[in-house]
C-alpha cells in the first residue's frame, strides 16, 4: 500500500468513528490496540461482540462450543436461518467481519475450560456471557489468576446483571458467593460426586423420571453423577462427551430444567451497560471508573439498581490464599481422603475435588496420618471450578 493509499485508509477509518471520537475523554487508539475475549456467543455474547466491533476494538476472540438453533434467532442478533446447525463462533465471526473490516476476529470452538490458556492471557478484558455457575466460577478464577479484568454478564427473563472484576481491586464472584449464588446451585456445588449409577437412577425416580440402570451408567460415562450435573452443566459439552446419549440427556434436562425465559430487549439493554463497562476499563480512567459492585436491571420496573460490594480478604480465589497464604484445616490423623473431600465440598462448593500430595493424586480410603510423620500436610486441591489448584495446609491432631 502506497503512502497515499495509507492516508486515505486512515481517513476512512477516522470518519467511521467520527461520532464517538467527539465524546470527551475518548481514546480510539486504546480500543484499536485492545483484545476482548467473549466467553459464550449466545444472546449476550452476540450483542456485546456486535457493540465492540462497531466501536472499533482491535481484536475479538469468540469462544463457544455450541451450534446455532432455530430458537436462537429471536434474540441472537448475529445469526440467520442459514446458520442453523453451524458453529456459533464461526457464524458470529463472519457477521462481525462484515460489520467492520478493521476488526480482527478469532473464532474458537471448544469448552471454555479446555482451550489454550494463551487466549485468556492475550485478552485485555475477558467478558463472561455464560449461562451456568460452574463455568462462571472457572472464568472468575482464570481472570484473577491471570490478572485480567473480567466483566460478567447474566440474564434470566426480565432480569439481568453485570459485575466487573478487577483483580486485586474489586470483589470477585466468589467474595460474596453465599449471598449471590442461588441456593439450589450452592446445593449442587456442595454435593460431592462420589456416587453409583444406582444412586443417580434413584434420584431421578424421586423427580418422577425413570431411567434404566444401563442408561444411568451411560450418564456416568459422560460425567453426569447427580441431577445437578444435568441441570447446570453446559449442554453442548455434555452432548460432545456422549453423543450417543444425546437424546436421553436432552430429555432429562428438559424435564428437570425447562429452558429459562429470555428476551432480546433485555439482552440488548444489559449488553449495552456491560459494553460500556468494558470500554471504561480499556480507557484506563479517561471515561470514568468501572463500577466495583453489582449492577442489576429489572425490565418490568424500568429500574437499574447498583449494589455496593466489598472485597472479602478471606476469599479463597482473590483473597489471602491467592497471594501465597494457604488455607488451613485442622483434621484428625485417621481422617480419610474421602472425608476431607466432603469438608472441601461443603466449605468451598467444589463438588469434584481431587487431592494431591506431592506428586500423587490420593485415593479415597487413604488416611491423612499415613502420609507423613509430621503434624502438617501441604495438599493441592484440583477442581473444574478454578484454573489452578487450591493449596491447603492441613494440621493433624
Fold of 326-396: 3.10.290
| pLDDT tens-digit series, residues 10-37 | 888 889 999 999 999 999 999 999 999 9
Tell me: the pLDDT tens digits for 362-391? Answer: 999 999 999 999 999 999 999 989 999 999
Q: Which three cell numbers stand for residue 182?
A: 442461588
pLDDT at 16: 96
* Res 19: pLDDT: 96
pLDDT at 234: 59
Q: For position 3, what pLDDT does the model report? A: 65
pLDDT tens by residue, 114-151? 999 999 999 999 999 998 898 999 999 999 999 999 99
How does residue 112 score in pLDDT terms, banded at 50, 70 and 90? very high
| Reported confidence tier of residue 47, pLDDT bands at 50, 70, 90 | very high
pLDDT of residue 250: 79
Q: What pLDDT is attached to residue 200?
A: 87
Q: How many residues appear in the chain?
A: 397
Answer yes or no: is pLDDT of 320 > 80. no
158-206 residue pLDDT tens? 999 999 999 999 999 999 998 989 888 888 788 787 778 898 888 888 8
Picking from 55, 99, 92, the residue whose alpha carbon sits closest to that of residue 77 is 92
List, by residue number, the catalytic residues. 190
The reported pLDDT for the residue numbered 363 is 93
CATH fold label, 3-181+262-307? Rossmann fold (3.40.50)
What does pLDDT average to over the chain?
Answer: 91
**Per-residue confidence (pLDDT) for residue 184, from 0 to 100:** 80
Question: In angstroms, rounded to a whole number, what is the distance separating the alpha carbons of residues 100 and 115?
Answer: 26
pLDDT of residue 237: 56
Amino acid at each position: 500500500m502506497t503512502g497515499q493509499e495509507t492516508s486515505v485508509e486512515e481517513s476512512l477509518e477516522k470518519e467511521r468513528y467520527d461520532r464517538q471520537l467527539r465524546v470527551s475523554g475518548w481514546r480510539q487508539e486504546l480500543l484499536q490496540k485492545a483484545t476482548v475475549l467473549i466467553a459464550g456467543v449466545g444472546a449476550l455474547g452476540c450483542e456485546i461482540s456486535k457493540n465492540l466491533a462497531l466501536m472499533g476494538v482491535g481484536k475479538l476472540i469468540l469462544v463457544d462450543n455450541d451450534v446455532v438453533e432455530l430458537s436462537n434467532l429471536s434474540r441472537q442478533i448475529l445469526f440467520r436461518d442459514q446458520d442453523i446447525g453451524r458453529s456459533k463462533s464461526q457464524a458470529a465471526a463472519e457477521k462481525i467481519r462484515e460489520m467492520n473490516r478493521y476488526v480482527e476476529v478469532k473464532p474458537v470452538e471448544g469448552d471454555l475450560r479446555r482451550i489454550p490458556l494463551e487466549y485468556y492471557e492475550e485478552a485485555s478484558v475477558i467478558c463472561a456471557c455464560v449461562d451456568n455457575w460452574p463455568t462462571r466460577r472457572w472464568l472468575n478464577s482464570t481472570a484473577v489468576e491471570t490478572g485480567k479484568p473480567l466483566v460478567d454478564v447474566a440474564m434470566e427473563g426480565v432480569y439481568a446483571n453485570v459485575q466487573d472484576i478487577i483483580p486485586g481491586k474489586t470483589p470477585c464472584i466468589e467474595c460474596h458467593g453465599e449471598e449471590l449464588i442461588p441456593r439450589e446451585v450452592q446445593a449442587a456445588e456442595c454435593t460431592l460426586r462420589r456416587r453409583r449409577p444406582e444412586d443417580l437412577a434413584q434420584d431421578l425416580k424421586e423427580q418422577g423420571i425413570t431411567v434404566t440402570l444401563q442408561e444411568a451408567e451411560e450418564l456416568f460415562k459422560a460425567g453426569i453423577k447427580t441431577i445437578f450435573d444435568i441441570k447446570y452443566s453446559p449442554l453442548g459439552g455434555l452432548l460432545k462427551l456422549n453423543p450417543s446419549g444425546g437424546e436421553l440427556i436432552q430429555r432429562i434436562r428438559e424435564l428437570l430444567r425447562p429452558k429459562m425465559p429470555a428476551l432480546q430487549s433485555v439482552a440488548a439493554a444489559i449488553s449495552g451497560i456491560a459494553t460500556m463497562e468494558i470500554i471504561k476499563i480499556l480507557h484506563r480512567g479517561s471515561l470514568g471508573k468501572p463500577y466495583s459492585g453489582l449492577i442489576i436491571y429489572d425490565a418490568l420496573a424500568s429500574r437499574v439498581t447498583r449494589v455496593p460490594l466489598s472485597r472479602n480478604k478471606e476469599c479463597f480465589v482473590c483473597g489471602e490464599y491467592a497471594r501465597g497464604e494457604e488455607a488451613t484445616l485442622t483434621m484428625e490423623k485417621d481422617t480419610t481422603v474421602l472425608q476431607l473431600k466432603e469438608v472441601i465440598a461443603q466449605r468451598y462448593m467444589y463438588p469434584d475435588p481431587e487431592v494431591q500430595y506431592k506428586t500423587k493424586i490420593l485415593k479415597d480410603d487413604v488416611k491423612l496420618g499415613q502420609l507423613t510423620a509430621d503434624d502438617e500436610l501441604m495438599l493441592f486441591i484440583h477442581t473444574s471450578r478454578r484454573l489452578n489448584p487450591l493449596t491447603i495446609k492441613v494440621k493433624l491432631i
